[in-house]
Amino acid sequence: MNFRYLPMTDQDEKEMLRTIGVTSTEDLFSDIPEEIRLTRELNLKPPYNETKLMTELTHLANTNATTKTHTSFLGAGVYDHYIPSVVDHVISRSEFYTAYTPYQPEISQGELQAIFEFQTMICQLTAMDIANSSMYDGATALAEAMTISTAQTKRKKVLVSKTIHPESLEVMYTYAKGHNIEITEIPEKNGITDLDQVASLLDDSVASVIVQYPNFFGQIEPLAKVNEMINDSKTMLIVSSNPLSLGMLTPPGDLGADFVVGDTQVFGIPAQYGGPHCGYFATKKKWMRKVPGRLVGQTVDEDGKRGFVLTLQAREQHIRREKATSNICSNQALNALASSVAMSALGRKGLKEMAYQNMQKAQFAKRSFQNENIPVRFEEPMFNEFVIQLNQPVTNINKQLLKKGIIGGFDLGVIDKTYENCMLVAVTEMRTKKEIEDFVKGVGEANDNR
């Protein structure tokens, strides 16, 4: 046995073949015509033993630029935030790490309570009445809110701000195709949603208005003004929001939002290669039977002891079929737990302080760029991201920064040619004053180095 993860021996193989009545592995493929079979070995390296394999994989991993090896100013939806050490300790416990769906509450109270606490904290942050147990990611949650708004209002048109995350917009278009939803994009003006366009397009055919807060450019959208424009009682306001920003900003629930969704990657989930993340979905009590995914409720048993159960299960696999709110059958329980532990460890004051540091450090970086005569595109209030205008392609700048051990910002020209040579910069609480100063200096040197 050369590989401990492939424990079958030659004798095991012979016994298995004998049991099923064939003499060789080749006999298993006898129904496949000879002319289409591969008659040579695959062009692969010979298998390594475990020691040599681990050495090679470690060498390959060490060639990556990560937030552990480099200073990162890359955001655009995934951020480098402080993760309390207790997070990994808790989520690595076998009772959580290996848990799936807590269908049997008698033996799943720990998992159910953890999800219940997640829901509670999301409600407190968003100022909404009810939240589900999590969704795949923020983009999925936003698309689900869109479909609910059209189903509830019996209208097929939604107004979507162009300042939402472009990948979220792509997911929404995918959902819209299957539901025959008409998406009308509202252009941006000075980095925020063009409110004049919203006003001109609002009528009794619109199911919902969808904005991001803070938006993709880091700017803080005027939610109260958007809500004031919605005179029709049926039209809903859907807000995609970074939950960390709500440690400082007025919660969308207090500004008239019907649905508040987003991603809790900012709480306890590392910046990984595209995921997994953890979407949240919060709404008003009157829409609770429309909420997709799972809900955990608090109850008492026959002895009056507090307990937790899955409740209001409106999913298709619970015999709802075509009446189901959503066909999403799962959630991100482990990542939701990570976010719950992170939020609990930070506490109210710690979360507010973390949000405050993001705002202050981003403002410091913004002023530093202005002092270096590097233009900042927008002057609207922001959270922890802003856009700078450069003299040359962002790709070139980032290559120079990488040599200095810095991961630069996001190249906005990739998604919109009108933002060619524009970099979206993210500054989190993890960045020190020196790191910010080195970053600004590095960008300035690369920007002038034509």
Number of Cβ atoms within 10 Å of the Cβ of 371:
10
CATH number (domain holding residue 303)? 3.40.640.10
Residue 100 lies in a domain: yes
Residue 15 lies in a domain: no
Enter the pTM of the model: 0.89
Q: What is the pLDDT of residue 360?
A: 98
Q: What is the pLDDT of residue 380?
A: 87
Residue 412 lies in a domain: yes
User: Within this chain, do residues 284 and 429 fall inside the same structural domain, yes or no?
Assistant: no
Task: List all residues 6 or more positions away from 186 whose beta carbon is below 8 Å from its beta carbon.
Answer: 159, 160, 161, 162, 193, 194, 197, 198, 201
Q: Which of 310, 327, 342 is the last residue of a domain?
A: 342
User: Within this chain, do residues 177 and 308 fall inside the same structural domain, yes or no?
Assistant: yes
User: Within this chain, do residues 76 and 97 fall inside the same structural domain, yes or no?
Assistant: no
Task: List all residues 6 or more positions away from 383 whose beta carbon is below 8 Å from its beta carbon.
Answer: 214, 218, 220, 242, 245, 248, 249, 355, 358, 359, 362
User: What residues make up the domain containing 384?
Assistant: 71-82+348-448
425 and 388 Cβ atoms separated by less than 8 Å: yes
Residue 28 lies in a domain: no
User: Within this chain, do residues 279 and 426 fall inside the same structural domain, yes or no?
Assistant: no
Q: Which residue type sits at 40? A: R
Q: How many domains does the chain have?
A: 2
**Three-state secondary structure call for residue 188:** strand
User: Within this chain, do residues 183 and 328 fall inside the same structural domain, yes or no?
Assistant: yes
Residue with tokens 């993340």: 277
Q: Which of 294, 317, 342 is the last residue of a domain?
A: 342
Q: What is the pLDDT of residue 316?
A: 47
Instruction: Walk along the chain (450 residues) in steps of 10 and give the mean pLDDT of each run.
Output: 71 92 90 90 88 92 92 97 96 86 81 94 98 94 96 96 97 95 96 96 96 98 96 93 98 97 97 90 93 89 91 60 69 93 97 98 97 94 97 96 97 95 98 98 89
Residue 41 lies in a domain: no
User: Within this chain, do residues 122 and 217 fall inside the same structural domain, yes or no?
Assistant: yes
User: Within this chain, do residues 286 and 420 fall inside the same structural domain, yes or no?
Assistant: no
Q: Which of 323, 342, 361 is the last residue of a domain?
A: 342
CATH number (domain holding residue 412)? 3.90.1150.10
User: Within this chain, do residues 114 and 130 fall inside the same structural domain, yes or no?
Assistant: yes
User: Within this chain, do residues 323 and 361 fall inside the same structural domain, yes or no?
Assistant: no
User: Within this chain, do residues 152 and 280 fall inside the same structural domain, yes or no?
Assistant: yes
User: Within this chain, do residues 213 and 171 fall inside the same structural domain, yes or no?
Assistant: yes
Q: What is the pLDDT of residue 375?
A: 97
Terminal C-alpha separation, the chain: 59
Residue 64 lies in a domain: no
DSSP secondary structure string for all residues of 293-355: S-EEEEEE-TTS-EEEEEES--SGGGTTGGG-S-------HHHHHHHHHHHHHHHHHHHHHHH
User: Within this chain, do residues 78 and 178 fall inside the same structural domain, yes or no?
Assistant: no
